[in-house]
Structure 1
Amino acid sequence: MELASAHPALKAFMCGSLSGTCSTLLFQPLDLVKTRLQTLQSSAKPGAPKAGMFAVFISVIRKENFFSLWKGVSPSFVRCIPGVGIYFSTFYSLKQHFLLDREPNAAEAVFLGVGARTVAGVCMLPFTVIKTRFESGHFNYVSVGGAIRSMYNTEGIRSLFSGLTATMLRDAPFSGIYVMVYSQTKRLLPQDVTLSVYAPLVNFSCGMVAGVMASMVTQPADVVKTYIQVSPSHQSTANAMRSIYREHGMCGFFRGAVPRSLRRTLMAAMAWTVYEQLMAKMGLKS
């Protein structure tokens, strides 16, 4: 089947997958550092000195090597390439079904973002768990397939879906807030700017603003998700929240906020920019 004759939802999937590939490869080191910071926190004793983002960067390079900053990129690709494709194809389908060609208002934008992320998040959760474990440095997995077999044989099928509640509490609000701020910010700009040769720069800038806001709001849920997924005990979301607060206070819920905000903001901004440009070239509105 030629691309030109493909279903619009399939085109959206392909555009999303390509945008996810680019952004994942570029920003994987930031995700690894974020996970290491949060993992160090979960295993640190109360009152122990806290490592910073740059200290973790240098530590990974010195103790391992430069390319270890991309540890976990394989499960990231397995997760993000189809995951971002599922996200954008679901987003496109929901928008076409409920809004036709009309641009969403703020509430509709939140609905589209939450709906698309919920579908993609549930579908790709096992690879999210594996990616987190790869990045933590606490597990000696060699491949994605080997990680799946090891987790299934030693911990059961439940381990592949650990942190589902925390993941949804992080990803669904992130996407809802992101799409709302992104779409409404673009609506405030003159149409001759958003449709000009500067459109990619406009899209990226709006994505940066949306990403920062969404990242900070959902940071606590990301810490809880990591805490659960690197722990073989599979504690509940409520127990994980109590443990983090008891051991580290409110500051513990914002551990790794800087690298995560940088990575999520840049990754989302690039993904949406590439996606919108590709969709425009195919004659489709996102």
Structure 2
Amino acid sequence: MENYSIPTEFILLGITRFLFGIFLLIYLSILIGNGLIIVITKVDPNLQTPMYFFLGNFSFLEICYTSVTLPRMLINIWTENRTISFLACAIQLGFLLILGAPECLLLGVMAYDRYVAICKPLYYPLIMNHKVCIKLAVGSWTIGIPIQILQTYQVFSLPFYGSNKLNHIFCDLRPLLKVACGDTFANELSIYAVAMVFGMLPFLLILWSYIKIISTILKLPSTEGRYKAFSTCSSHVIVVGLFFGSIIITYLQPKSKGTDKILALFYTIITPMFNPLIYSLRNKDVITEKDFIFISYFKT
């Protein structure tokens, strides 16, 4: 113990200078795109439905989620300083985990909303009333906070007497455990357990919802009806595939691989960037309202 010192900061090896312009454009597109969806779902009376209520929540969550990592990355790249303090790293990881859980849960809630709308249309206003939507949104945002705070505390309770170099673009669980000293088996087990609760369970709910949705759609008599039903779900399916695909590979694989940084970009940056684009291109209501906002802006 006398030959080692406790690190006061970590060095992020995954950050390179040429990424500044790319990350800046991505961050601006995330803020503008998701911000537009929030405004659209609030100002248009025709979009005051549970589907757009959850979409607005999801877009706001995407802005918060990316703001945990991207601004810090931009500052580090611009100043050519790859270091992040021990406390800042703990705060970043904590918020990353706290905001990651509701992202999975909201996607599950959105799938359930589509299931009720398509499979139980007559009961939809009763089941997905305003109070239920508020409870589902609040529950999605808050249910994982105590668990994720505890997981963050467990990680930073480990001794870090060895290397302080993180082979990553931000403070994440796997890179931190890799440089931690002592037995990290309990922490690895905790990662799998939390990933199962907040990742796999919502994913299974989504899978079950879409199995029911597809079986109901195939029973519709008209081709136009089947197409319309599929089109209301396609955007959500694409976002789910991008987000859960990268999350499952990252956190449920047995050992950390060299692809962790690329996969981390998918669930922290790429999915939030494509979210407004996917929903806008696949939804005529959003396209119409977005065009109206742009026309009104330029007229003024």
TM-score band, normalised by shorter chain: 0.3 to 0.5
State TM-score, norm by structure 1. 0.33
